[in-house]
Amino acid sequence: MTATVAVPHRRRRPDGVRIALTVFSTLVFVFLFLPIVFVIAHSFTDSNAWLVWDGFSTRWYGRLFDNENLKQVIRNSLKVAFFSTIIATVLGTLAGVALARRPGKWTTPFLVIVFLILVTPEIVDAIGFLIWFVEIGSVFSDGIGPFTGGEVRLWVGQSLFSSAVVTLIVRARLAGFDESLEEAAADLGATPARVFRQITLPLIFPAVLAGALLAFTFSLDNTIIASFVSISGSSTLPVYIFSSVRSVPKPDIGAAATLMFALTIVALALVALVLRRSGESTEQVAATLTGG
C-alpha cells in the first residue's frame, strides 16, 4: 500500500500589477460617477440653491411638476427621443440586414461611412445640420416645409449617431446566424417580405430592441445637436439645464436630471435583460452592444 504524501499548499503571492490595475480602475469609476452622485444627492437638498446643501428634503420633486417650463422641455425630450428612435431603428435595422446578408463591393465604403459617423465630433455634425436645415428652409419662401419645425430637425439630427449604432448591433447579431433558414423558406415559396417578417426579424429582434433602447438613451442626453438645431418651443431638457446653470440653478433641475438618469439606467438594464433572455452570455451581450 503506497502512502500518499500531502503536498504543502503554497500561499499565492499578491500580484502587484493586478492590484495596481484594480486601484486604477476603482479611481476611474469614482472619477466618472462622483459627479452623478453629487447631482443626485443635491436634488434632495432643502436649500433654494442646487449647489448648497441645507438638509434632506424631497420637496423639489414635488415642485418639479409645478414648473411649466420644465415639464414642457421634459415632454419635448421624450417626444424627440421617441421619434428619433423610430427613425434610427428603421434605418439601422435595414442597413444592418443589408450588410450581413447582401455583402458586396459597397460594404466597405458603407462601413467607412458608418464608422465615420461614430467618430465625427458632434459639434461638426451640429454645424452641418444647422447649415443644411437653413439651406432647405430657404427653399420654402412661405416658411412651411418639412424641416422648418424644430421637432423635426431634432428627430433627424439626433437619429444620425443612433442609426450607426443600431446598424452595427443588428449586423453583429445577424452575422452569427446561418442563412439556411431564410434560404429554406425562399425555396418553399415564401416571398422576401414574408421571409423577413417571419424569420429574419424574429432572429434579430433582441438586437433591434437593444439598439432602439440605446438610441432612446442617446437622444435623451443629446445636448450639442439639440442646442444648434432646436428653435423656440422645441428645447429639450439637456439644453434647458445647460442654459439654467449659467445662473443660480434651482434644485428642481437636479430632480429632473435624476429622473432622466434613472430612466436611462432602466433602458440600459432592459437592453441587457433582453439580450440575456435571448440566450446570450455576458461576453456576447457586450459584443452586441459594441457592434463586435
Domain harbouring 148, CATH code? 1.10.3720.10
Q: What is the structure's pLDDT at 87?
A: 93
The pTM score is: 0.77
Same domain, 140 and 259: yes
Asked whether residue 100 is domain-assigned, the answer is yes
Same domain, 158 and 255: yes
pLDDT exceeds 80 at position 10: no
CA distance 258 to 36: 9
Domain-ending residue, one of 9, 28, 57: 57
Percent of residues, the chain, with pLDDT higher than 90: 9
Q: What is the structure's pLDDT at 71?
A: 82
Asked whether residue 9 is domain-assigned, the answer is no
Same domain, 35 and 172: no
Same domain, 75 and 48: no
Asked whether residue 2 is domain-assigned, the answer is no
Asked whether residue 112 is domain-assigned, the answer is yes
How many folded domains does the chain comprise? Answer: 2
Same domain, 30 and 158: no
pLDDT band at 142 (very low <50, low <70, confident <90, very high): low
Same domain, 126 and 205: yes
Asked whether residue 81 is domain-assigned, the answer is yes
Same domain, 129 and 26: no
Same domain, 32 and 169: no
Same domain, 182 and 207: yes
Asked whether residue 192 is domain-assigned, the answer is yes
Asked whether residue 1 is domain-assigned, the answer is no
Which secondary-structure segment (H or E) carries 67?
A: none
Q: Per-residue b/e over 22-39, b at no fewer than 16 CB within 10 Å?
A: eeeeeeeeeeeeeeeeeb
Same domain, 72 and 40: no
CA distance 60 to 35: 19
Q: What is the pLDDT of residues 200-255, one digit of tens each?
A: 888 888 888 888 888 888 888 888 888 888 777 778 888 888 877 777 677 888 88
Same domain, 88 and 42: no
Cβ proximity of 93 and 166 under 8 Å: yes
Asked whether residue 143 is domain-assigned, the answer is yes
Q: What is the structure's pLDDT at 141?
A: 52
Q: What is the pLDDT of residues 54-100, one digit of tens each?
A: 888 888 888 877 778 888 888 888 889 899 999 999 999 999 988 88
Q: What is the pLDDT of residues 24-55, one digit of tens each?
A: 999 998 998 888 888 888 888 888 877 778 88
Residue 99 CB: number of other CB atoms within 10 A? Answer: 22
Instruction: For residue 269, give its domain range.
Output: 68-289
Cα 236 to Cα 131, 170, 227, distances in angstroms: 20, 29, 8
Same domain, 106 and 230: yes
pLDDT exceeds 60 at position 1: no
